[in-house]
Chain A
Amino acid sequence: MRNLSSRLSRWLISGPPLLYLLIFFAAPTLIMVFAAFRIPGDYGGLLPLLQTDDAGKTEVLINAGNWHDFITFENFGRFFEDSIYAELFLKSFWYAGITTLICIVLAYPLAWLIARSNKKTRDLLVLLVILPFWSNFLIRVYAWMIILGPQSYFSVALNHLLALVGIEPVSLLFSQFAVIIGLVYVHLPFMVLPLYANLEKHDMALLDAAQDLGANAWQRFWRITWPLSLPGVWAGTALVFIPALGMFAIPDLLGGTNSIMIGNLIKQQFLDSRDWPFGSVLSIMLTLSVLLMAAIAGWAGRSKKERA
Chain B
Amino acid sequence: MALLEIRDVVKTFGDFTAVNHVSLSVEAGEFFTLLGPSGCGKTTLLRMLAGFEQPNAGQILLDGKDMSQVPPEKRPVHTVFQSYALFPHMTVAQNIAFPLQMAGVAKADIPARVDEVLEDVRLQQFAKRLPHELSGGQRQRVAIARALVNRPRLLLLDEPLSALDAKLREEMQLELINLQKEVGITFVYVTHDQGEALALSHRIAVMNKGEVAQLDAPETIYSYPKNRFVADFIGQCNLLDAKVAEVGGSRMKLEIPGVGLCEALPVEGAQVGQSGTLTLRPEKIRLAAAVTHDADEVHFKGKVHDCLYLGDVTIYIVELENGTLVETMLPNSAPGRARFFDDNDAVELAWRFDAGHFLLG
- A residues at B contact (CB < 8 Å): 203, 205-206, 208-216, 219, 223-224, 227-228, 308
Contacts and interface: CB of A to CB of B under 8 A. Distances in A.
B353 interface: no
30 contacts: A203-B83, A203-B85, A205-B81, A206-B88, A208-B52, A208-B79, A208-B85, A209-B85, A209-B87, A211-B71, A211-B73, A212-B51, A212-B52, A212-B73, A212-B77, A212-B78, A212-B79, A213-B73, A213-B98, A213-B102, A213-B147, A214-B150, A215-B98, A216-B73, A219-B102, A223-B98, A224-B87, A228-B88, A228-B89, A308-B91
Sorted from nearest, which 4 A-B pairs have the closest CB atoms?
A214-B102, A209-B85, A213-B99, A205-B85
Contacts of A214: 73-74, 99, 102-103, 150
Contacts of A208: 52, 72, 79, 81, 85
Interface string B110-126: 00000000000000000
A42 B148 CA distance: 80
Contact of A211 (B72, B94, B146): B72
Contacts of B103: 214
Contact of A212 (B72, B87, B89, B91): B72
A86 to B, nearest CB: 38
Contacts of B73: 211-216
B239 interface: no
Given A211-B73, A214-B103, A206 B150 contact: no
B157 interface: no
A308 B94 CA distance: 9
Given A205-B83, A219-B102, A228-B88, 18 more contacts: A203-B83, A205-B81, A206-B85, A206-B88, A208-B81, A212-B72, A212-B78, A212-B79, A213-B102, A213-B147, A214-B73, A214-B74, A214-B99, A214-B103, A214-B150, A215-B73, A224-B87, A227-B89
Contact of A213 (B78, B83, B91): B78
A214 B79 CA distance: 11
A283 to B, nearest CB: 38
Interface of B: 50-52, 71-74, 77-79, 81, 83, 85-89, 91, 94, 98-99, 102-103, 146-147, 150
Most A CB within 10 A of own CB, among B88, B99, B102 = B102
A61 B111 CA distance: 75
A236 B146 CA distance: 34
B106 to A, nearest CB: 15
A213 B146 contact: yes
B71 to A, nearest CB: 8
Prevailing SS type, chain A contact patch:
helix
A1 to B, nearest CB: 37
Nearest to B99: A213
Contact of B102 (A206, A215, A228, A308): A215
A221 B86 CA distance: 16
Contacts of B94: 308
Interface centre among A208, A214, A224 (most CB of B within 10 A): A214
A224 B51 CA distance: 20
A221 to B, nearest CB: 13
Contacts of A212: 50-52, 72-73, 77-79
A223 B101 CA distance: 11
Contacts of B74: 214
A302 B98 CA distance: 23
Nearest to A204: B85
A215 B91 CA distance: 18
B133 to A, nearest CB: 14
B136 to A, nearest CB: 16
Nearest to B96: A213
A211 B91 CA distance: 19
B88 A209 contact: no
Nearest to A305: B89
A260 B87 CA distance: 46
A216 B71 CA distance: 9
Contacts of B85: 203, 205-206, 208-209
Contacts of A219: 102
A223 B98 CA distance: 9
Nearest to A227: B89
Contacts of B77: 212
A308 B71 CA distance: 31
A210 B79 CA distance: 10
A206 B52 contact: no
Contacts of A224: 87
A209 B81 contact: yes
B152 to A, nearest CB: 9
A201 to B, nearest CB: 11
A215 B72 CA distance: 9
Contacts of A203: 83, 85
Contacts of B81: 205, 208-209
A223 to B, nearest CB: 7
Residue among A211, A215, A224 with the most chain B CB within 10 A? A211
A113 B88 CA distance: 23
A203 B77 CA distance: 22
A216 B94 CA distance: 18
B214 to A, nearest CB: 29
A299 to B, nearest CB: 19
A223 B97 CA distance: 12
A228 B85 CA distance: 14
Nearest to A213: B99
B47 to A, nearest CB: 9
A84 B219 CA distance: 88
A228 B79 CA distance: 22
Contacts of A215: 73, 98, 102
A284 to B, nearest CB: 38
Contacts of A205: 81, 83, 85
Most chain B Cβ neighbours within 10 Å, of A211, A213, A227: A213
A286 to B, nearest CB: 34
B253 to A, nearest CB: 55
A214 B89 CA distance: 18
A219 B94 CA distance: 15
A224 B86 CA distance: 11
